[in-house]
Structure 1
Amino acid sequence: MMFNIQTSLFLVYLPLIIADYNETLKDILSNTYLNTLQIIKKYNYPLERHWVTTEDGYIVELQRIPYSINKNTVQNRPAILFFHGNTGSAREFIVTGRKSMGLVLSDEGYDIWLANARGTSWSRRHRYLNPNYKQFWMFSFHEFGVYDLTAEINYIVNVTKQDKIFFIGHSQGGTAFCVMGSERPEMNEKIRLAILVAPNVYNTHQKNSFLRTLVDNIGLLKDIVYSIGLYEIPFNLQLGKFFSQLCVSRLKFLCSIYINTVMGFDKDQMDHELFTWEFFF
């Protein structure tokens, strides 16, 4: 009898569960061609834009969600700084909408600060260098940690009047934090807790043959791209739309091959319904 009741309840609620999942997926997919600011505004969260100048002259943008529309408390919200991965931006922490880490933690009572590393579309300014020239692009994750993160943390501490803040870094964002923690150890005193998601710190045991080949030939690759005046990864909206369509077509296996080659194969961690459109935009 118990089995029948449980089965009946499951069958009753199954359509509701499926409907909720489909509605959530539809909502997420609608964010495909929206940028960070548009996504935040779509869900009616408050938005602030802050510009921070680093010690070496780069002007990087922080996008802030100071409070949640679903919480009454505005004051005394613990600050969290998010730092994205390679080729990403602040958008990766909010692109899944109401289910995203950024908006969920905002609803939980945190003051959300979204970083955009130098060279991203939001942080292409400098006090005197021009992004059309090579000298602007002479940086790596080392500068993200030594200059960008230190300037952003000091800025947030100053604005919020909090002695310590939280930090969440994804991939290269975690790498930059490790650089900061070792090169600028005084900054550790301003961190309450750091959560590093898949940080790349040591490459000694790197098993990805594609990445090892790139590293072994990095000097040659730099000479080639510099010789043709290419200092950043070229991208435009039409190219992004092309890959988005490709990854939901019958040729979507090509996208899977690319991801598995560059990122490593792990089918249990791959959400094909999401990555097929999002990764290439």
Structure 2
Amino acid sequence: MRDSLSAYTTFGIGGRARRISVARSRSELIDLAPDALVLGRGSNVLVSDDGYDGDAVINRYDDIVFNGDLVVAGSGACLASVSAAAARCGLSGLEWAIGIPGSVGGAVRMNAGAFGGAISDRLLYADVLRGGAVVRLGRGELGFSYRHSAIADDDVVIAAAFLLDKISAAVTLARCGEYTERRRSKQPSGKSAGSVFKNPSGISVGKVLDGAGLKGLRNGGAVISPVHANIIVNTGDATADDVCGLIRIMKGELEARGIEAKEEIIYVGGFKNGVLGRLPHAYDIQQKGR
């Protein structure tokens, strides 16, 4: 039986996998992850129209446990949900993550961040499935840098622990409200995978692409957002090829200006003409046995 992966990505795009399983606990995730594509919340993923020729595991191990100022979350938990739960407990340090739809596992893998904050600021340790065994890696062992960690392609994040600051819940909830408003004013609604390209040091890719006049550019059912030129939106019937056509144009504009174009989006499956090959993992995908 072949199942569609489009239902498991925020783009709502993509073909079928050979088989899809859902992991709802730590033990299920550890058992199912070897030799499978592991998807978290699918918020930074573009799946090929031809699908993925292998097994896929949807990570829904989303337990969140509080112990004083320590928060331990399953890697399938939505990062925004962890941020909100911590804020309600008066725990500060993850307010910047409110509204981010990606999973904890994907966020740790790519050192997700926003509004000047990052996962590496508060991560205490991550439990990682590596070589058939779960190892606990401290922050200093994870090689964090901008939108990067030392977690390998064959690793799968199982859980993560964050050390936060105990303050007033009124303060943390107010901060979450401020970040929510800032995000709402800058991020488009609709089906998307978030930012297409990483921001090089001191450069806003969105502003560069806006200056190139790309806002609102359409290819089939995909459009470069009129709100943010570094985000592509599925207007309802976009294909992966529609999206790729826009990405090529965006990349061309950046490279013409001497800016190295590095995608945050992760490509799953085969893409026509080989122009979009395998890339490093980022925000919300974990893979093994590809």
Per the TM superposition, whether the score is higher than 0.5 is no
Normalised TM-score (structure 2):
0.31
Q: Rg larger in 1 or in 2?
A: 1
* Structure with the higher fraction of residues in strand conformation: 2
* Structure with the higher fraction of residues in helix conformation: 1
Normalised TM-score (structure 1):
0.31
